[in-house]
Structure formats: C-alpha cells, structure tokens
Amino acid sequence: MRALVLASLGSLTGFPSIANAAETIVTKAPMAFLFEPGSGTILFAKEPDKPFAPGALVKVMTAATVFKALKDDELKLDQLCKVSEHAWRSGGAPSGRGATMFAAIKSEISVEDLLKGLLVHNGNDSAIILAECLDGSEDAFSKRMTDLAQTIGMTNSKFANPTGYPEVPSQTTVRDQARLGEYLVEEHDDLYPMFAIPEFTWNKIFQRNKNPLLGEIRNLDGLGGGNDPNDGFSGLGSVDRNGRRVIASVAGLTSDKHRLQTLKEVLEGAWDYFIVKTVFTAGETIADGRVHGGVESTVPLVSTRNIDVLLPNGETLEYRIRVVYEGPLQAPVEEGTKAGEIRVIGKDGIVYRAPVVTGQSVAEGTLFSRAIDGLQELLFGWIG
C-alpha cells in the first residue's frame, strides 16, 4: 500500500469582489496567524512557525493543563491547594513581580478560585500554586505542559514554567498558539468561559480582568497576552460573532498598544476579506478511489459533511483541491470507510483539510478478476 495523490480537481474561482477592499489581510506584525476552527481553515499566516518567548501568555497553557487534569479527574474544582512559601515568595506580593492574587502563605485555596486568580488576576502565585498542587513542583508541571502541547499538535512549543518568567523562557509559535485556542474552545467548552470573567474578589481584594484584550475587540471572549524582554508583546484572541468563531495569534510587537491594534486588524479581517464557499456538499462524489480485487475497479470518495471553506473575496483565487488517500483500497470495501482526506491548497500550503470516506460498498470480485488486478499491480503499479 502506498499513498496516492489524486491530481488537482481544479481552482476555486467566481467569487464576488468587494470594491476598494484589499485582497487579504495586511499586518505589520512580524508573526501572525488566523484560523477558523469550525471549518479548519487557515485564513492568514505570516511566519507561523517562527519561535518566540510568550511571557505571561504561558498562563493560557497553564490553564489548559489544569483543565485537562480536571477532565481526567486528577483534580476537583473544590479541591483545596496549600500555598507554599515558594509560591508566596516567587509569585505573591513579596516577589514584586507584578500580577498576583495575594494568596496568603500556608492558606488553602480551592482549584476553582485559583483558576479565577490565574485567568482574571493573571496571578503568578496562582500559577505556581496550581502547578505544585497537581505535580509537586513547577518543573514537573512544566513537563506536563510540554507533553500536553505535543499531544494536541503544538509541535514547536516547549514550556519552562507556569508563569512565563523570562529567566528560563518558554518557546512557542503563533500557529501553536492558535491550536491551543482551538483545543480550549472545543475540548473544554465548560471551563472556557472563565477566560471572560470580568472581575474577581479574593481575600477582600477586588480586581478586574487583567487580559488587555477583553472589552477592546468586539465579541472577544479570550484568551490572553504576554510580553518578553527580548521577543516583545504577543497576544492570543478568540472571537465568536454571528455563529462564526475565529482565533488569531500575533507576536513580536513593540508595545501593548501595537499588540491590540494588530490583533484587532487580523481578527476583523475574517469578516472583511473572507466569505464561506461550499466546495462540495455532503455525500457528493469528490473523486474516485481505485479498488483492488473488487467487482468494481473504483469507488466514489465523499465527505460526510459539507466542505465549507472560508476563502478570500476576489474574482480569481489561486487555490487547488486535491484528495490524498492510501490505495488501492482492498476489496471488500464497506460504505463509509475512512479512506483519506480532501485538501485545499493555497500559495502558502494547505489551508483546509477534511476526511473523505467511501461512498458505497464494493464486493470482492471473482478469483479471475483478483488475479488480473494482482498482475496489473505487479507489472504497472497503481496510478491514481
């Protein structure tokens, strides 16, 4: 068996143009990525895999790691965590290192309140307390963070601590950050609203949400921002507007104002420059897959859902459609068997992919027909 790549099925054309509108997003951000998780479409990418140190943006990954532990029943929301001297000195008021929830030394705080302290107060002490509560140390928790990142597809990320302190910086990319946002929205929809809690009072101290992006971008409900002394300001934003969610990540900015302006430009671009195009409807034949040893030599390959792709407005689009599958398929073939995937390919690579399945069953052929197929494969190979 070998991978067969079917020839391009054509270019996508015929979109209405928007007068006086740019064809795509333009941003001065050194790194930017815009993703639409509903269809899996990459809308914009600029240096998507260039590494940067995320600073306090790390706390989004810290939250994701705790969310995963809660989902796996390793922690409970009402479980109490003790505030160690290390957490108090390194992340609390005595540290003098900025954001804190002012957790008192040797006190016990619930996981739920610590998560609010992390996501509303941006508390460094919250991050350390959660790390120690789950794994006993920041180092062990950081390994858990990195392992989870690899598991969910953040292949170019490594986390050194739960706070984002720069002494030993973490590393990530804007593509990986967008993947993190998608993971949180899709896998932890019950806890995701914590990112948008407007304020939280702890120990009689009232603090508003310190996410610098909330309230500044319409319909934004997460996720966070960071700043590294060497790599500058970065941000990760998620917007749900009229049933469409997009996630954007930017990095390498010179100031918090520059970050906000850039992230707003990128996120708004999803509505300014893109429309939904239904490339294929559910059940429509996308391509024919070759079959070995069957009563039929081919089987239709279809999608189980509409192939809806967000693509730029314009009269002509340089996008190609391909189907990739492992073939030939061995008879008997059952209808609905996953066979490969459809890919929409732009100038910067694959912008959309979705699985394809067999659209009908193919019974096993006669001994003679199977022998002929075997001889053909031996002499000529299979051509898709």
Rounded Cα gap, residues 375 and 382, in angstroms: 11
Q: Are 148 and 60 a contacting pair, CB within 8 Å?
A: no
Question: What is the per-residue pLDDT across 185-217, written as a single tens digit (0 to 9) for each?
Answer: 999 999 999 999 998 888 888 888 888 888 888
Question: What is the per-residue pLDDT across 115-154, written as a single tens digit (0 to 9) for each?
Answer: 999 999 999 999 999 999 999 999 999 999 999 999 999 9
State the residue for tokens 């893109």: 274
Question: What is the b/e burial string over 16-41, where b = at least 16 CB atoms within 10 angstroms of the residue's CB?
Answer: eeeeeeeeebebebbbbbbbbbbbbb
pTM: 0.76
Rounded Cα gap, residues 64 and 51, in angstroms: 20
Question: What is the per-residue pLDDT across 211-241, written as a single tens digit (0 to 9) for each?
Answer: 888 888 889 998 999 999 999 999 999 999 8
Predicted local distance difference test score (pLDDT) of residue 1: 35
Across 261-280, average pLDDT:
86
Could you give all domains of the chain from N- to C-terminal order, each with its CATH number?
2-15+278-380 (2.60.410.10), 31-272 (3.40.710.10)
Question: What is the per-residue pLDDT across 23-45, written as a single tens digit (0 to 9) for each?
Answer: 678 888 999 999 988 878 888 89
Predicted local distance difference test score (pLDDT) of residue 7: 36
- Let me know how long the chain is: 384
Of 141, 146, 174, nearest to 159 by C-alpha is 146
pLDDT, greater one: 98 or 355: 355
Predicted local distance difference test score (pLDDT) of residue 272: 82
pLDDT, greater one: 180 or 352: 180
Phi-psi region of 88 (alpha: psi -120 to 50; beta: other; left: phi over 0): alpha
Predicted local distance difference test score (pLDDT) of residue 31: 95
Phi-psi region of 114 (alpha: psi -120 to 50; beta: other; left: phi over 0): alpha
Q: Are 227 and 233 a contacting pair, CB within 8 Å?
A: yes
Running DSSP on this structure, what letter comes out for residue 16?
Answer: P
pLDDT, greater one: 9 or 234: 234
Rounded Cα gap, residues 15 and 110, in angstroms: 53
Across 65-74, average pLDDT:
96
Of 67, 28, 318, 43, nearest to 191 by C-alpha is 67
